[in-house]
Amino acid sequence: MTNHWIDIKNSDCILIMGSNAAENHPISFKYVTEAQQNGAKLISVDPRFTRTSARADIYAPMRSGTDIPILGGMIKYIIDNNLYNKEYVAAYTNAPFIVGKDYDFDDGLFAGYNKQTKSYDSKKWAFEMDANGVPKMDRSLKHPRCVFQILKKHFSRYNTALVSKISGTPEADLRIIYKTYGATGARGKAGTIMYAMGWTQHTVGTQNIRTMAIIQLLLGNMGVSGGGVNALRGESNVQGSTDHCLLWHIWPGYLKTPRASNFSLAAYNKAWTPKSNDPLSANWWQNYPKYSISMLKSFFGENATPKNDYGYDWLPKVDDGKHYSWLDLFDEMYKGKFKGFFAWGQNPACSGAHAGKNREGLKNLDWMVNVNIFDNETGSFWHGPGMDPAKIKTEVFFLPAAVSVEKEGSITNSGRWSQWRYQGPKPLGDSRSDGQIMMELGNKIKAQYQDGGTFPEPIRNLKWDYLAKGEYDPHAVAKEINGYFLKDVTLKGKVYKKGTLVPSFGFLQADGSTSSGNWLYSNSYTEKGNMAARRSTQDASNNIGLYPGFAWCWPVNRRIIYNRASVDLKGQPWDKENWVIKWDGAKWSGGDVPDGGWPPLGSLENPNPKSRHAFIMRKHGHGQIFGPGRADGPLPEHYEPLECPVERNFMSSTYTNPTAAVYGSKADVYKTCDPRYPFVGTTYRVTEHWQTGVMSRHQPWLLELQPQVFVEMSEELAKLKGIKNGERVLATSARGRLECTAIVTKRFRPLKISGELGSEVHQVGFPWCYGWLKPKSGKEESANLLTPSTGDPNTRIPETKAFMVNIQKI
Amino acid sequence: MRLNRREFIQISGATAAGLALSRCAGKGGLFAPAQQAKALRIKDAKETTTICPYCAVGCGAIVHTAKKGDKRVINIEGDPGHVINRGTLCSKGAALRQLSENSERITTPLYRAPYAKEWKKVSWDWALTEIAKRVKTTRDATFEAKNAKGQIVNRTMGIASVGSAALDNEECWIYQALLRAAGLVYIEHQARI
């Protein structure tokens, strides 16, 4: 989230789309409700009438996978009706940037598409630069090749009639939504979006979010209180685990995993440190080498020296252009490429798209380590449905982990708040905290490499001193993450002693004199103490619910990021009441930690040379309406899901995302417009269960509340198939089958996709919170047995929210 | 404990007493609320604050752990001093005690041998030693110093890892450090699914 949970109360209009927050983030509704009580409108757009929809002022149905048409239509409406904040758009976004002459868009394809590689050459989308290497701009937004004009032209095709034809959303609903949300473009008004995996789990997932980000930039909703782009993350520490980068493509703090072409530390830093020639661009990532070298110092301690490139060569490199992502990982496993596998606090036999393929893959392993609280469908895959243990070679080590209340440490919520939690009881029986297990395993692996082994340096040299008297010490790690001065360092006339904690990432150095495991968390555990453990209920002076003394938030306790866009060019808040920061003529005073202390621009004609553009993390300092860094185009465009019920894309002859991730093993079957699979399927969760249910199916209360996997369907579809409410039915897709209980409900209604199809589209939905191990009947299985192994080309997140199924009586 | 006990009683006392009263009424006797409050099971329990382990709203809860006997969790409830949830919890958060106090939890390491039909209990030392041996054998056998283009890559291709958003930040950090030092490139977790 660019903002945070409590800030939702400050919104004037809340769009919940791609999320069912009332069900899956129930306490967030405390703040949605508070906003509504203060006059805010709640809009819910969803294939199903959900618990969120039940509280909404406006609800509209849609066909799953058609978010870009719906939002694209909103962009057109906002521009056509002059609802955008022109001053904001001209000053803070890249709308004035001139795009080079090579850019083109024709029939669903952007310039630079290569049919063989199914990828784009994004150089064709580059901005035009002036003689100094600064992007050319037309702040009047009139140049025919400026981003604003290109945007206007691009989305002019998304008229409500066509959008309705694609999405099945009635035109009248679209208009009222566009009008209501578009009204937040007025100064002092703020609209927010709450989305979740309902947006990301599509072959156009990234562009779904880009479309909304464009809307937020046009309406001046970024950086302001009650605004922002807010991803509702589904797990208690999925924000923290992403920040610390348990992901193939990034190092802690969103540094890049080195590519093979980054042959030295210098080459690596050069490749990933952006350069801006604009003196008004803060270009914050110019500090990249300070963060990467400080991180290497945390990895390898005293063993990291300038002579050995701080151990840069000891860390693995990935091939340029190759993906090692979730879908790729399980594809490789299916092909038998791995011998060993760790499934640590995760249950991919139920959670991953195309779970059947993943389960087959587990058979190809020599050994697996499964760390969890409970037995689960991954660790026990070898005696699951259709498995013959006598034929499965995989050795499995199950290590019992402690529950969160049995250990100490911090987790980071969706609003980027890192919060410390304490140990209640000791771990039950002989279970151990994950940290304890990791430390001991690390020591055992180090022991294996004491006397040789292949390339032992990284293992031997890894700094691994986080045990205190044999016990894992989360404080020691938290301090390492924050970072230390490793020598006496004098900065701005002040001496910082060797061995003391750095106050913030502003103090990190690129010469090995500082360490920091994750620069983004630098400032979280300082000489003033453990910031994440703070409990002050005192609000900041602007009284908008920032609570700056409660827990700690990255970066540097800034609760609303991009907040220098919450003010006009003179530094005065767009919203006088719910202001975030304000300029008093000499400094930013009160409220939130400003996004850099530079003064406001003053004016666009004669900007204050001491100022910096508002979007400091972007190379050119502007919010990116036009995004040349994406795999599938600089602007969003509608493509049909890989499996869909329509035989053509009404926007263009480019049917599906031409860059989508697809796989070619015999398990990877996709069936679109196939009469055997006529209904649109989607997946979701329920309040009473969590993810695959490993941490909820064992609780008697929760299992009693939601005991069975079900399929929700409309009364019309039930009638068509002769299915009664409560009956067990069989759902099938091209990949698998799922027995489930039918819930016949008004929450789903057939959609009229007008025109050429001339028929109704039926949608059905499944919760994916079950697995064969529990409940004991063995009949409640994972809905991911049905979902496809295809995904977004940028994130490679699987498309589990739109696929085709059939439903039949058993 | 992070919440002042007095503050806690002030905020939640009325509710707790009301609840106690209704329970007593059911048993056929009425006690003064103050007298009943004295008998609360959490009276001498250790209080610690926690953050709910389910979704990412980050609600606060108070954990009451017995100081005597089995020293297990007696009660978990919403933390009224937490600025996000102000004492409220959803059904999962409200059932949190059943997560830690659950007879179905596995409490010793288990091992399943190739082609075996059952788990067997093993010691931590044996399990971790055997895992470390396999990490070394597999790493050494599948280590790539250079890729097909001859570029230095120093990576382990035969081991992959998934997990976890269920770990604490500090655990995430040391886990990724260990995996990367071991040369893994296939490192993923819940963020994508």
Average pLDDT estimate for B113-137: 98
Q: Do B55 and A24 touch (CB under 8 A)?
A: yes
Q: H-type helices in A674-714, by residue range?
A: 700-705
Judged by a CB distance cut-off of 8 A, whether residue A406 touches chain B is yes
Structure-token pair, residue B71: 């020293």
Give helix A160-167 / helix A171-182 axis angle, nearest 10°: 120
**Identity of the amino acid at A406:** E
Average pLDDT estimate for A382-393: 98
pLDDT band at residue A270, thresholds of 50, 70 and 90?
very high
Q: Categorise residue A152: left if φ over 0, alpha if ψ from -120 to 50, beta otherwise.
A: alpha
Return the ∠ at Cα A162 (arms to A157 and A167), rounded to 5°: 120
Give helix A434-448 / helix B124-142 axis angle, nearest 10°: 50
**pLDDT of A756 higher than 70:** no
**Would you tell me which residues 754-783 of chain A have a C-beta closer than 8 angstroms to some C-beta of chain B?**
774
- A-chain residues near B46 (CB < 8 A): 424
The pLDDT value given to residue A590: 82
Q: Which ipTM value was assigned to this complex?
A: 0.98
**pLDDT of B19 higher than 60:** no
Nearest-CB residue to A445 (from B108, B110, B135): B135
The pLDDT value given to residue B43: 84
The pLDDT value given to residue B30: 53
Structure-token pair, residue B158: 């035969």
**pLDDT of A382 higher than 60:** yes
For the purposes of burial, counting CB atoms within 10 Å of the CB of B69, is it exposed (0-12), middle (13-18) or buried (19 or more)? exposed
Q: Do B131 and A235 touch (CB under 8 A)?
A: no
Strand partners, A491: A494
**pLDDT of A752 higher than 90:** no
Average pLDDT estimate for A310-336: 98
3-state secondary structure A758-805: CCEECEEEEECCCECCECCCCCCCCHHHCCCCCECCCCCCECCCCEEE
* CA distance to partner chain B, nearest, from residue A598 (Å): 31
pLDDT digits (tens, 9 = 90+) for A623-670: 999 998 999 999 999 999 999 999 999 999 999 999 999 999 999 999
Average pLDDT estimate for A615-620: 97
Average pLDDT estimate for A415-424: 98
Judged by a CB distance cut-off of 8 A, whether residue A693 touches chain B is no
Q: Which residue of A has its CA nearest to B156?
A: A316
Cα A288 from Cα A398, distance rounded (Å): 39
Nearest-CB residue to B106 (from A374, A417, A687): A374
Cα A168 from Cα A165, distance rounded (Å): 6
Average pLDDT estimate for A22-37: 98
**pLDDT of A479 higher than 60:** yes
Nearest-CB residue to A425 (from B73, B141, B147): B73
Q: Do A315 and B180 touch (CB under 8 A)?
A: yes
* CA distance to partner chain B, nearest, from residue A737 (Å): 20
Q: H-type helices in A366-469, by residue range?
A: 434-448, 457-461
Report the share of chain A in percent with pLDDT over 90: 98
Return the ∠ at Cα A520 (arms to A517 and A525), rounded to 5°: 70
Helix (H) and strand (E) counts in chain A: 21, 33
Q: Which residue of B has its CA nearest to A413?
A: B56
Cα A357 from Cα A364, distance rounded (Å): 11
The pLDDT value given to residue A552: 98
**pLDDT of B25 higher than 50:** no
The pLDDT value given to residue B32: 61
Mutation to test the B interface, candidates A4, A202, A232, A246, most B Cβ within 10 Å = A246
Q: What is the CA radius of gyration of chain B?
A: 24
Cα A809 from Cα B14, distance rounded (Å): 53
**Would you tell me which residues 27-86 of chain A have a C-beta closer than 8 angstroms to some C-beta of chain B?**
27-28, 30
* CA distance to partner chain A, nearest, from residue B94 (Å): 10
Tokens 């004098």, residue located: A490
**pLDDT of A195 higher than 60:** yes
Q: Which residue of A has its CA nearest to B157?
A: A338
Residue A318, phi then psi, degrees to nearest 5: -105, 155
Q: Do B57 and A518 touch (CB under 8 A)?
A: no
- A-chain residues near B78 (CB < 8 A): none
Span between the terminal Cα atoms of chain A, in Å: 44
Nearest-CB residue to B56 (from A390, A414, A431): A414
* CA distance to partner chain A, nearest, from residue B38 (Å): 22
Per DSSP, the residues of B1-48 read: --S-HHHHHHHHHHHHHHHHHHHHHHTT----HHHHHHT-TTTT-EEE
Identify the DSSP state of A257. Answer: P
**Would you tell me which residues 247-276 of chain A have a C-beta closer than 8 angstroms to some C-beta of chain B?**
247-248, 251-252, 257, 260-261, 263
The pLDDT value given to residue A105: 98
**pLDDT of B1 higher than 70:** no
Judged by a CB distance cut-off of 8 A, whether residue A695 touches chain B is yes
Per DSSP, the residues of A105-157 read: EETTEETTEETTTTEE-GGGGPBPB-TTS-B-B-TTS-STTBHHHHHHHHHTT
Cα A283 from Cα A285, distance rounded (Å): 6
Q: Are A707 and A681 in contact (CB under 8 A)?
A: no
Nearest-CB residue to A235 (from B115, B187, B190): B190
Structure-token pair, residue A111: 């310039």
Cα A549 from Cα A539, distance rounded (Å): 8
Tell me: cis bond preceding A555? Omega within 30 of 0 counts.
Answer: yes
Other CB atoms within a 10 A radius of the CB of residue B157 amount to 22
The pLDDT value given to residue B39: 65
Cα A98 from Cα B143, distance rounded (Å): 47
* CA distance to partner chain A, nearest, from residue B32 (Å): 31
**pLDDT of A151 higher than 80:** yes
Structure-token pair, residue A315: 């860390």
Identify the DSSP state of A554. Answer: T
Average pLDDT estimate for A512-516: 98
For the purposes of burial, counting CB atoms within 10 Å of the CB of A367, is it exposed (0-12), middle (13-18) or buried (19 or more)? buried
* CA distance to partner chain B, nearest, from residue A606 (Å): 43
**pLDDT of B24 higher than 50:** no
Q: Which residues contact A131 (CB under 8 A, 6 or more apart)?
A: none
Judged by a CB distance cut-off of 8 A, whether residue A652 touches chain B is no
> Which residue from A767, A754, A765, A760 is spatially nearest to A716, judged by alpha carbons?
A760
- A-chain residues near B83 (CB < 8 A): 6, 537, 545, 547, 550
Mutation to test the B interface, candidates A403, A522, A531, A773, most B Cβ within 10 Å = A403
* CA distance to partner chain B, nearest, from residue A413 (Å): 5
Name the least confident of A15-19, A172-176, A343-347, B36-40: B36-40
pLDDT digits (tens, 9 = 90+) for A535-562: 999 999 999 999 999 999 999 999 999 9
Q: Are B190 and A691 in contact (CB under 8 A)?
A: yes
Residue A719, phi then psi, degrees to nearest 5: -65, -45
Q: Which residue of A has its CA nearest to B89?
A: A27
* 3-state secondary structure (DSSP) of residue A809: strand
pLDDT band at residue A40, thresholds of 50, 70 and 90?
very high
For residues B4 and A740, the model is more confident at: A740
Q: Mean pLDDT for chain A?
A: 97
**pLDDT of B11 higher than 90:** no
Cα A219 from Cα A575, distance rounded (Å): 13
Give helix A67-80 / helix A171-182 axis angle, nearest 10°: 60
Cα B177 from Cα A593, distance rounded (Å): 31
Q: Which residue of A has its CA nearest to B98?
A: A699
- A-chain residues near B167 (CB < 8 A): 237, 241, 246, 344-345, 434
Cα B31 from Cα B128, distance rounded (Å): 55
Average pLDDT estimate for A426-449: 98
**pLDDT of A212 higher than 80:** yes
> Which residue from A349, A378, A350 is spatially nearest to A768, judged by alpha carbons?
A350
